[in-house]
Structure 1
Amino acid sequence: MRYRPYDLPPEFKELGPSYRWAHPKGVKEWIKMEQKSRGDEIRHGQKAKSNITWEKIRDANIPIFFIAGGADLYQPPSMMRAAAREIPHSNTLVIPEAGHAVQWEQPELFNHSVLKFLNKHR
Structure 2
Amino acid sequence: MNRDNNMIVKLGQESDEKVISKLPEIFQLLKKGEVQPSNEVLDIISKFPTESTPYILEILGENEEQINLQIWTLKEVVPKLPFFVKIALTDEIERMVNKPSSQEKEQKLDSIAQEALNSIL
* Larger relative contact order (Cα-Cα within 8 Å, sequence gap ≥ 6): 1
Max Rg structure? 1
Q: Which has the higher helix share?
A: 2
> Normalized against structure 1, the TM-score is what?
0.26
Which has the larger strand fraction?
A: 1
Q: What is the TM-score normalised by the length of structure 2?
A: 0.26
